[in-house]
Amino acid sequence: MSVTNRHIHGIRLPGGLSVARLRRAVRLGIRSLWLHRLRSLLTVLGIVFGVCSVISMLAIGEGASYEAQEQIKSLGSQNIILRSVKPPDSEKVSNQGRQSYVLQYGITYADVGRIRATIPGVTVILPARNIRDYVWNITRRVDCEMIGTVPWYPAMRNHRVVSGRFFTQDEMERQASVCVLGAEMVPRLFPIKSPLGRHVRVAGDYYQVIGVMEARGGAGETEGGAEQKDKSAACRMFIPLETVKLRYGEVLMRRRSGSFEAERVQLHELTVKVASLDEVINVAGAIRAVMERNHKNKDYQIDVPLEMLRRAERTKDIFNIVLGSIAAISLLVGGIGIMNIMLASVTERTREIGIRRALGARRRDIVVQFLVETVLLSGIGGIMGVLLGITIPLIVSHVAGMKTIITLWSPLLAFSISALVGVIFGIYPAVRAANMDPVEALRNE
């Protein structure tokens, strides 16, 4: 007899149960389950699917909300974004007015002045004018959204320059003909050589390429609703705001169902940066008030990324609660299935219980024997569910190209709940087995 073995035998668990006895009970339980492996497998399926669905649904949900949140965050959580929107009731007027009508709407330079003057807590303001046109490199052509903006655009919008540089204050003041391309355009306009230092043409004007911006949001096409709600192109090119003013003035002509339509829009977009995160909501309220007072018809739209983020988080919380309830129900159903089988097993093994009791098993030894089986069943089901639940998101992200995130806590939680279900639903059959009268149990055929 080895010393360690004696030592192990000396250890007692609560309830006067020795480690050795528990170890044997586990071995016995595994054997008994293996003896009825098909039955065990079928019994455990409820738990397997319960655990699996929790983990995979959480992973898919987490992935989706992560992507949404990343998109929102990329707008800058300290930013408030105002956009010019064509007011809905102006459509009719413009249709009647036909060619000669010039539609005026949107955010104005006066708005910029008012916001800067009246609202404290605003640090930086980023105006932008967007013009849609074809951009050419000799014979190659790309439909593009040209954004006339200011030098601090990349910093404020968390949009990095990947090669070259953004234009400077000096270039803007000089109304220089320089441009920074969006990464999406590069392969289409300059498939072979680097675009840096080369020129692109828009209508009759040439711009020298001085930098390239990173692609937005991974996949250029599936960009978040808030960022590019309207018909804008996937391709973007950045030009100094003053240059755009010089080249295009404020009246834009658009071809529309055979006729021309003119629009006068001073600024298409305005990004306001708030000094501290805590003030974002208040400042957004103040801006809304200022804008409402000065724009009788709603020709603008205000997006607050922080608010969108909060909403997305709330949505995620609700999603998790719903998911949690579904998981709880499916685990409950799985637990009832296990209990049902264990009750049948207790009846089937009445004789064995009687024999064990006659040969010295205490009630709690019988409880442990059956409880161990139930916990093993649900534990094995839990492990199978975890494995399956980790695999499914991997397959989904591989096949459907969706982002999935498996957080560490979700398999842990799902597994411990399934083990807990085993204990809870195992107690009743086990206690019933233990409370059998040994004499009666032995008489059982």
Residues that bind another protein (CB under 8 A): 1, 5-6, 9, 18, 20-21, 24, 31-32, 35, 351-352, 354-365, 438-439, 442
Least CB distance from residue 363 to another protein, whole Å?
6
Q: What is the distance, to the nearest Å, from the Cα of residue 90 to the centroid of all Cα atoms in its chain?
A: 37
Which helix (H) or strand (E) covers residue 164, if one does? Answer: strand 161-164
Least CB distance from residue 423 to another protein, whole Å?
22
The rounded distance, in Å, linking the Cα atoms of 179 and 82 is 24
Nearer to another protein, 268 or 357 (CB): 357
Nearer to another protein, 13 or 289 (CB): 13
Nearer to another protein, 35 or 38 (CB): 35
At 21 the three-state DSSP class reads helix
Which helix (H) or strand (E) covers residue 68, if one does? Answer: helix 37-74
Nearer to another protein, 354 or 381 (CB): 354
Nearer to another protein, 253 or 358 (CB): 358
| Crossing angle (nearest 10°) for helices 3-10 and 19-35 | 90
Place of tokens 């995160």: 277
Least CB distance from residue 422 to another protein, whole Å?
22
Nearer to another protein, 25 or 135 (CB): 25
The rounded distance, in Å, linking the Cα atoms of 142 and 133 is 8
Least CB distance from residue 11 to another protein, whole Å?
11
Nearer to another protein, 251 or 439 (CB): 439
The rounded distance, in Å, linking the Cα atoms of 281 and 429 is 57
Nearer to another protein, 431 or 442 (CB): 442
Contacting residues for 380 by C-beta, under 8 A, at least 6 apart:
33, 40, 44
- Beta-sheet strand order (sheet of 102-104): 102-104, 259-264, 251-256
Length of the chain, in residues: 445
The rounded distance, in Å, linking the Cα atoms of 381 and 375 is 10
| Crossing angle (nearest 10°) for helices 409-434 and 37-74 | 150
Nearer to another protein, 273 or 356 (CB): 356
Nearer to another protein, 83 or 357 (CB): 357
- Specify the pairing of strand 235-240 against strand 140-149: parallel
Which helix (H) or strand (E) covers residue 144, if one does? Answer: strand 140-149
The rounded distance, in Å, linking the Cα atoms of 288 and 301 is 9
Nearer to another protein, 279 or 352 (CB): 352
Least CB distance from residue 375 to another protein, whole Å?
20
CA atoms within 13 A on the CB side of 238: 28
Which helix (H) or strand (E) covers residue 271, if one does? Answer: strand 269-274
Cβ distance 299 to 82 under 8 Å? no
Between the alpha carbon of residue 250 and those of residues 145, 208, 233, the distances in Å are 16, 23, 21
Least CB distance from residue 52 to another protein, whole Å?
31
Least CB distance from residue 376 to another protein, whole Å?
16
* Residue 203, burial from CB neighbour count under 10 angstroms (0-12, 13-18, 19+): exposed
Cβ distance 127 to 270 under 8 Å? yes
Least CB distance from residue 415 to another protein, whole Å?
29
Least CB distance from residue 71 to another protein, whole Å?
59
Least CB distance from residue 1 to another protein, whole Å?
6
Least CB distance from residue 9 to another protein, whole Å?
6
Least CB distance from residue 388 to another protein, whole Å?
30
For residue 405, report the phi and psi dihedrals to the nearest 5 degrees.
-125, 120
Nearer to another protein, 51 or 361 (CB): 361
